[in-house]
Chain A
Amino acid sequence: MCAERSYDGRMAMIKEKDRATLAQLGEKLTQDVDVTLYTQRASALAVPGVIPCETCEAAEDLLQELGEIIPKLHVTIADLVENLEQAEEDDVNRVPTIVLGGRAQRRARFMGFPGGYEFATFMSAVLEAGSAGEDVPDVLRAKLGELSKPVDIKVFVTPS
């Protein structure tokens, strides 16, 4: 996904030709999905000990645009430092982190910039969160339903 300049002079993260495709995908959502991006707003001052977030601004732009294209996505941008209490509730301490609501009920998250090659991964997670989830075989569903202890799954991915 390359950036191109939009009508207001801002660099658009999502190409015009991709917008229609995404809007179509968005129509498949059967429920609304809250998408919360924890970010670090750019500061004019370098704060000692604080690592600047190189992808936060791009992640914010991308999600804002996605929210405009898919009305069922409710995008919230939350500065990590200014929303510590909420971040703690979501167990988030790094940026950028995107917490998915909807059917994911805030138990699924994406850490890192969701664009580039990982955009498809991110979108599939979003679409899952907003779907009825009927595509899962009953056997699998039953076995997962029997889980008695908490299970954390970490999946490492890269953009290239």
Chain B
Amino acid sequence: MSSSDLALSVYGLSKAYTIAHNTVERHVTLAEAVLHRLRRPFHRADTETFWALKDVSFDIKKGEVVGIIGRNGAGKSTLLKTLSRITEPTAGEINLYGRVGSLLEVGTGFHPELTGRENILLNGAILGMTKAEVRKQFDAIVDFAGVEQFLDTPVKRYSSGMYVRLAFAVAAHLESEILIVDEVLAVGDAEFQKKCLGKMKEVATGGKTVLLVSHDQRSIADTCRKTLMLRSGRIEMIGTPAEVFKHYASVARPERRTGVTYGRNLGNDAEICDPVMGSATYFSDEPIQILFSVLKKKQQPRTLNAIAEIVNASGQIVTVVTSLQCSVIIENGLQRMRFIVRSPRLRSGRYSINLALEEPETLDRIDDALRFEILPPRDRAHGGFRLLHDGSIVHADADCEIAAA
């Protein structure tokens, strides 16, 4: 790598926030602050330093599209905010080899009373474009957003779809070399999201560098060649989207219970225990077996429903099996259950299973409880099953039975 290819480099970037422990120590009013200083002139408030980012270092080359993932609080937004100069780092250094345009929120600075035309000019200026640049891009922006007829209508009369389209369109036409985008693709309808992703790709092929935060694994996998995962303010991993998401799926869910657990005491009225796969690998035409126990502690008026969700490698739920769907009543006490998904029709690849008990409130839930792999078809001629990759959830042809414990 020649260093002249660099779009940006980050060395030892850290950002600390100070959290005050005692509410008295946080002076909300000037008088409090003054009084406090007078009373205890040399006292330092009891505070804790929270490192939103800690010693983050990475380089990004020109023309790269980089996805940033990490669960809430991992430091994604703080990273983007320091890169786009909204907030200052506590330590470290960022070198930017091009103009940065950032879109951390769709429609920031849009004013409801102003017309579409006025908002394009205003928002362009807010995002850092000069008047001349906005003028030059004006038609392209209007065209992209598809709001020609409503240009002179105040945006408060726009539908939410139109509003979002217009806001994104302005940002997408930023003429900066580095584009930073935070989670904004989560808005708008599917068609528009596709259009936005297409625009991002187009921007990148034009030699621009794009940093993209998203929870949507598919949009990152589709758009980015490189993915960076943050965890507790540090870089956990940098690699291809597939590699990083695999790792993400295995570590990034401490907020929910993950994996096999025994002897828990959750105080809930029902629990899932001992989940096991019938086999770790299946062929696509083989029935999949999921076994687990349900411990139901007391009689409830409503029927308890056991649910297994099959999740593909990009985090989409592709199949759902429920005990209610199979008319199985879960009795009190400990019972061994077996789900048999007869024709899963899954493409080869890795899958995980989430298990849950609902009545209809969720009584227990284990994400990533089990994993299995669908092997490639044994012979091509036999692979005539339907592929399910459009994101829809399918209630599979499945059986549920009470197995011998």
Chain A complexes with chain B:
no
Which residues of A are interface residues toward B (Cβ below 8 A)?
Answer: none
